[in-house]
Amino acid sequence: MIPKEIKSYFPILNQEVNGHPLIYLDSAATSQKPIQVIEALTNYYNLDNSNVHRGVHTLGNRATDSYEGAREKVRKFINASSTQEIIFTRGTTTALNTVASGYGRQNIAPGDEIVITYMEHHSNIIPWQQLAKEKGAVLKYIELEANGTLSLEKVRETITPKTKIVSVMYVSNVLGTINPIKDIAKIAHENGAIMVADLAQAAPHMKIDVQDLDVDFAALSGHKMCAPTGIGVLYGKKALLEAMEPVEFGGEMIDFVGLQESTWKELPWKFEGGTPIIAGAIGLGAAIDFLEEIGLDNIAAHEHHLAGYAMDNLSTIEGLTIFGPRDPMERCGLVTFNLDDVHPHDVATVLDMSGIAVRAGHHCAQPLMKWLQVSATARASFYMYNDEADVDALVAGLRSAKEYFGDVF
């Protein structure tokens, strides 16, 4: 169960927008931050602010303990086997680019295949496009089912012995679809390919076990899971990371620097060039503490319920189309939709007048928009701090929007 007082932990939710209580339905873009995370950042800057690792003074030691302590929290959170497999990055985009630029450049040859899906975020498309162009590789897409899910039959048809990298999002930021990552990883490995998982929309909402999923690399963003912006994680199996060359050089990642040659630190610091994202990592550690206190299973159950409740109620609005699987157990807590004859940006603008924040646009998924045969959609995304009353307000707001634009036109 989600505690009834959950909203009180999020100071930003206690305000009015355009004369109405704020109803925040845009957590798939970024989550709000609980007071526990805000206080962790404040305490760090008020009491411990210092650079990590190289100092011998007390502040440096305290900052280092907190920073490396956050790494252990991440390791446990995704059940990695070692903190050497946890690389702090700016976010999912940086993590995926690191794999493409590091592992990809070293292991992709002309004619090799890279396999992704039509539903991927641009951050899990463009790095592979660039790699394929550079290396003369073939970028292939797994076809989607009509309801926006993946069938393992089509996965098997697409992945071949020529495939070297498969990269798929665990949860779609548009359709909400929960993809069978463990099964896809098994098929990839049977064909000699590595498996990359984009966990940006999964890690905030469900338990993640990278060893059970048997993915080779995984990426997540802190800001979608109650942590600050500018912090994320690249997970990689130790053997793969050890064989990979860094893609950023200087600062924290060096071991010895000579005039013509240099050497790198061991894992994980070899991939953390420059001054580390110290405050961000500490905030991520506090966010993980908070999520585990609430319980990922509780969050998942709450969101499945809200997704079902939202789809049931949105379906009563004439002219409203819902995208993605209709079974709430097949999707995370978001619902993407369009209202006939009303542009999604207009829908979002009218809802904002009532204090309701939703996202409108292509959601960094233009190939998926093309597949859906739309230019843009509106998206309501839920988190632990949302409830049925928020959904009721959304439905009422959409009915008002429909009437408003019906009168205008």
pLDDT per position as a tens digit, 350-366: 999 999 999 999 999 99
Strands 16-17 and 320-323, by their bridges, are unpaired
Tell me which of 364, 366, 367, 405 is the catalytic residue. Answer: 364
pLDDT tens-digit map of 54-108: 788 999 999 999 999 999 999 999 999 999 999 999 999 999 999 999 999 999 9
The answer to whether residue 408 scores a pLDDT higher than 60 is no
| pLDDT given at position 404 | 82
| CA-based nearest residue to 216, from 50, 80, 406 | 80
Helix (H, G, I), strand (E, B) or coil at 175: coil
For 72-86, 300-314, 394-408, which range has the lowest pLDDT when averaged over its residues?
394-408
User: 38-292: which CATH architecture?
Assistant: 3-Layer(aba) Sandwich (3.40)
pLDDT tens-digit map of 152-210: 999 999 999 999 999 999 999 999 999 999 999 999 999 999 999 999 999 999 999 99
| pLDDT given at position 407 | 61
Cα dihedral across residues 112, 118, 122, 124: positive or negative = negative
> Does 332 participate in catalysis according to the annotation?
no
| CA-based nearest residue to 268, from 288, 286, 251, 253 | 253
Query: If you compute the radius of gyration of the chain from its CA atoms, what whole number of angstroms results?
Result: 22
The residue written with tokens 């590595």 in the block is 194
* DSSP secondary structure string for all residues of 92-152: HHHHHHHHIIIIIHHH--TT-EEEEETT--GGGTHHHHHHHHHHT-EEEEEPPPTTS---H
| CA-based nearest residue to 381, from 397, 358, 364 | 358
Contact 158, 190 (CB under 8 A): no
Q: How far is CA 229 from CA 78, 175, 203, 287, 316, in A?
A: 19, 24, 15, 12, 37
Q: How many residues does the chain have?
A: 409
| pLDDT given at position 409 | 47
List all residues 6 or more positions away from 239 whose beta carbon is below 8 Å from its beta carbon: none
Contact 86, 235 (CB under 8 A): yes
Contact 193, 143 (CB under 8 A): no
What's the mean pLDDT in 104-117? Answer: 98
| pLDDT given at position 30 | 98
| pLDDT given at position 125 | 98
The residue written with tokens 């209709």 in the block is 326
Give start and end residues of each alpha helix (H) in 225-334: 238-243, 278-294, 296-314
What's the mean pLDDT in 284-303? Answer: 98
The answer to whether residue 47 scores a pLDDT higher than 70 is yes
| pLDDT given at position 384 | 98
Contact 164, 106 (CB under 8 A): no
SS3 percent helix, strand, coil of the chain, rounded to 5, is 45, 20, 35
Domain chopping of the chain, boundaries? 6-33+295-398, 38-292
Distance, in Å, from the CA atom of 366 to the CA atom of 324, rounded to the nearest integer, reads 16
Contact 363, 337 (CB under 8 A): no
User: 6-33+295-398: which CATH architecture?
Assistant: Alpha-Beta Complex (3.90)
| CA-based nearest residue to 44, from 27, 24, 60, 28 | 60
Helices and strands, counts by H and E, the chain: 14, 17
Q: Which DSSP category does 100 fall into? A: I
Helix (H, G, I), strand (E, B) or coil at 238: helix
